[in-house]
Amino acid sequence: MSNTILHINSSGRKNGSLTRQVSEKLVEQLKNSESQVIQRDLVTGLPFIDEQWIGANFTDPEQRKAPQKEALEFSDSLVKELQSANQIVIASPIYNFSIPAVLKAWVDLVARARLTFQYTENGPEGLLKNKTAYLVMASGGVPIGSEMDLATKYLVQVLGFIGITNVKIIDATTIEEDSKELIELD
Ligand SMILES: Cc1cc2nc3c(=O)[nH]c(=O)nc-3n(C[C@H](O)[C@H](O)[C@H](O)COP(=O)(O)O)c2cc1C
């Protein structure tokens, strides 16, 4: 079956990164000969949303002027990547009890009213359907999934908000470095 995998890395380090190693292994496991893999490495940084971006995003798409369209261009391209993928692998270390700032910047750029969620009479509704997300998490001490781990909790919350409710959590700290076995997915 053909599938598209979006692989997002957010560790600030390229060498010795557990989340990079384990998420790479997971992508290898998930892909088949027809898979398309989109790599989105956030290590070089992302723009933060600003006044221009927020103004453009809150303007009706039909009414947007050229500079407003331009302000949303990069965010549009990140949303398209997300829409095109049926499997999303997010590699996230815990930084200061939460996710790396650069991953939060990515969230701010893809949580878009009309595109990834919408407001309805019954409250907000996620618009991304039939997708599975894999969170490859690592920490230096905070147990993944514990009360102190605000990173995993936050990612599950925000993915659910945009419609991705099928989320599997992988604790990269428990995967043996030289393990040849497949990553166990529940
Ligand atoms: C800036 C920074 C902040 C960190 N904050 C925490 C933290 O709050 N709790 C924790 O358990 N580990 C923390 N760590 C440790 C990392 O989560 C751990 O080294 C993890 O393996 C990093 O992911 P990586 O191996 O993919 O780079 C922090 C590391 C860095 C560099």
Residue 127 backbone zone (phi > 0: left; psi -120 to 50: alpha; other: beta): alpha
Given pLDDT bands bounded at 50, 70 and 90, which one contains residue 181? Answer: low
Q: Is the pLDDT of residue 20 over 90?
A: yes
Hey, what are 17's tokens?
Answer: 């990164």
Q: What is the pLDDT at residue 178?
A: 65
Q: Is 152 in the pocket of ligand 1 (CB under 6 A)?
A: no
**Residue 16 pLDDT grade (very low, low, confident, very high; cuts 50, 70, 90):** very high
Give the separation between CA 81 and CA 64, rounded to whole angstroms: 22
Tell me: pLDDT of 180 over 60: no
- Is pLDDT of 26 > 60? yes
Quick one: which atom of ligand 1 is closest to the CA of 97? 8
Would the CB of 94 count as within 6 Å of ligand 1? yes
What does pLDDT average to over the chain? 95
Q: Is the pLDDT of residue 35 over 70?
A: yes
The phi-psi region of residue 96 (left if phi > 0; otherwise alpha if psi is between -120 and 50; otherwise beta) is left
Looking at the CA of residue 94, tell me the nearest atom of ligand 1: 17
d(CA 109, CA 93): 20
Pairing of strands 123-126, 117-120: antiparallel
Whether residue 183 is predicted with pLDDT greater than 80 in this model: the reply is no
Residue ranges and CATH numbers for the domains of the chain are: 4-174 (3.40.50.360)
142 pLDDT band (50/70/90 cuts)?
A: very high
Going from the C-alpha of 98 to that of each of 60, 73, 148, 154, the distances in angstroms are 33, 28, 9, 8
129-156: average pLDDT: 97
- Cα atoms in the 13 Å half-sphere on the side-chain side of 116: 24
Q: How confident is the model at residue 176 (pLDDT cuts 50, 70, 90)?
A: confident
Question: Which atom of ligand 1 is least distant from the CA of 20?
Answer: 26
Cβ–ligand 1 contact at 97 (below 6 Å): yes
With a 6 Å cutoff on the Cβ, whether 142 touches ligand 1 is: yes
> Does residue 138 have its Cβ closer than 6 Å to ligand 1?
yes
| Region class of 27: left (phi > 0), else alpha (psi between -120 and 50), else beta | alpha
- The minimum-distance atom of ligand 1 relative to the CA of 96 is 8
